[in-house]
Amino acid sequence: MDSTKRASIYTGKNEEYEASVTSPVNIAVIKYWGKRDSDLILPTNSSLSCTLSQDDLHTKTTIRASRLFEADRLWLNGVEEQVATSKRLSNCIAQARAFRKELETNSQVVETIATKERPLSEWKLHIISENNFPTAAGLASSASGYAALVQALANLFELTLDQTELSKISRLGSGSACRSMFGGFVEWRGGESPSGEDSYAYCVAPQSHWPSMHALVLVVSDDKKGTSSTSGMSTTVNTSTLFAERVKSIVPKRLQKIKEAILSHDFSTFAEITMQDSNQFHAVCMDTYPPIFYMNNTSKAIVHLVHLFNSQLHPETNAPKGIRAAYTFDAGPNAVIYAEEQHIKELVQLISYFFPPAKAQSFRAYFPDAYKIFESSDDHL
């Protein structure tokens, strides 16, 4: 997202201003699970994710400000949500408004972008937000949702903050949202400060650094998840003994190693750490009391299939083909598989062989880019 192109559009009708943005989903390879402050949404550990392409899973949000609106209102996928009773929504809007107010009262800019005739900080907002994928099914809908909300607010209010500062605002909506403020490989530095000033996202490497990297989203179920991430992670922090060990001695080392693997295009190390961290996150969920189960039998079958794929031998030389795919699961049964472009076709063939064709249609819907590669080959389904 380009922060230099921030502007709201004057619609002319009733003196209304509007901004519209699309924000992508991100899928963590080092998981965020656990808060040290649940009001400011400060995590117990740093995390790292890959932001998917804008064309794939995303949220589109349009915000309109008008002198005539009487209240802040928000519609998510056509259904109205109560802004006033949602602390997370109110916090994000209040923060963005406060920055806008600063612009309006700052005498140096008052005559350029924030004239007294346009006190947007005082006008109410109507927000329309649409996901192009199942909401709250463990596919990071809150991440793209709050990232789109904050980016649209920043554009509407013509805020002069950089993406790192905006990531702190979107973090107040949902922790993982701060990572969707950037494309490519993104770290959320957990930070230590009680105020949250050092808890923000930044780009480790842009998508163009590793263009052959693909993410396949396998929709195992589009039902809403049973235990929300928010309540699940709070029970984990209070009850799991494995969790403390993970935060203290495992995650920092993994984070360092996976960043090195990304910077040196070392897929095999990237994949091993990704799978181990997903497995440990689900082990910690099972160590929570009462236990939380996000993966189902289909998810487990996908894990086995990926390990089978990674243990294949070359038919002529008998040499191992090596680690060519990595699974990861968030707070739900759906799988995301990272693989490089040259292996996508074989991987998709294998998955569609073991799972019914009806399910294979989900591939086309949820990873159009990968499907195009697959479809252009001679031997597609």
Tell me whether residue 153 or residue 336 sits nearer to ligand DP6 (CB atom). 336
Smallest gap from residue 141 Cβ to ligand DP6 (A): 8
Tell me whether residue 28 or residue 154 sits nearer to ligand DP6 (CB atom). 28
Smallest gap from residue 175 Cβ to ligand DP6 (A): 3
Smallest gap from residue 94 Cβ to ligand DP6 (A): 18
Beta bridge partners of 17: 10, 65
- The pair of three-digit structure tokens given for residue 264, joined into one six-digit string: 């040196």
Tell me whether residue 230 or residue 235 sits nearer to ligand DP6 (CB atom). 230
Tell me whether residue 157 or residue 281 sits nearer to ligand DP6 (CB atom). 281
> What does the DSSP assignment read for 223-257?
SPPSS-HHHHHHHHHHH-HHHHHIIIIIHHHHHHH
Smallest gap from residue 379 Cβ to ligand DP6 (A): 35
- How far is the C-alpha of 59 from the C-alpha of 241, rounded, in Å? 36
Smallest gap from residue 266 Cβ to ligand DP6 (A): 22
- How far is the C-alpha of 366 from the C-alpha of 35, rounded, in Å? 30
Tell me whether residue 47 or residue 51 sits nearer to ligand DP6 (CB atom). 47
Tell me whether residue 58 or residue 100 sits nearer to ligand DP6 (CB atom). 58
User: Rounded to the nearest 5 degrees, what angle is found at the Cα of 231, between the Cα atoms of 150 and 172?
Assistant: 20
- How far is the C-alpha of 375 from the C-alpha of 78, rounded, in Å? 33
Outline where DSSP puts E strands in the chain: 9-10, 16-24, 26-30, 35-37, 42-43, 47-51, 58-66, 73-76, 79-81, 124-131, 184-189, 200-205, 213-218, 325-329, 335-340
Residues at the interface with ligand DP6 (CB under 6 A): 28, 31-33, 41, 47, 142, 174-176, 229-230, 330-331
Smallest gap from residue 69 Cβ to ligand DP6 (A): 27
Tell me whether residue 53 or residue 230 sits nearer to ligand DP6 (CB atom). 230
Smallest gap from residue 27 Cβ to ligand DP6 (A): 7
- Contact yes or no for 125/182 (Cβ under 8 A): no
Nearest to 246 by CA among 270, 289, 200, 277: 277
